[in-house]
Amino acid sequence: MQYIIICLISLFLYSPALADTLQGKVIKIADGDTVTIVDDSGKKHRIRFAGIDAPEKDQSYGDVSTQSLVEVVLGKTVAIEYEKRDRYERIVGKVLVDPPVEVFCMALDCVKKIDAGLEQIKTGLAWHYKYYQMEQSEADRRL
């Protein structure tokens, strides 16, 4: 019985539904997996994309990865779903952005938000960071 209670508490504590959310405008791109946003109150937040790793600016393809992220999120309002901060006090989370205006869809299953980290992986300019995969939802790990 005690084992079941511990399992239920663990499930409750690590449920993706309990993730905090933050909204803001992207004002700076540090590299292919880190951005800075400013929220409605004017507070700046550094965001590290959960579940991915990208080359640093001074590494091969670092500038290309950074530019790709610029095109996807710079100057746009994003929603951040997160559960933790890293050792540098950056928020570690999923960065969601509205699809481009030219993507118009009237179907019920249209994409409402784009996962910017997944877009970086799809373009080949970032990779899945397996070391931290347990911080992602099971659905995100399968993408």
DSSP state of 19: -
Q: Which residues contact 91 (CB under 8 A, 6 or more apart)?
A: 22, 45, 46, 47, 48, 80, 82, 84, 85
User: What CA–CA distance (Å, rounded) separates 18 from 29?
Assistant: 27
Q: Which of 76, 121, 82, 66 is nearest to 99 (CA)?
A: 76
Active-site residue list: 48, 56, 90
Q: Which of 66, 47, 71, 68 is nearest to 55 (CA)?
A: 66
User: What CA–CA distance (Å, rounded) separates 42 from 123?
Assistant: 32
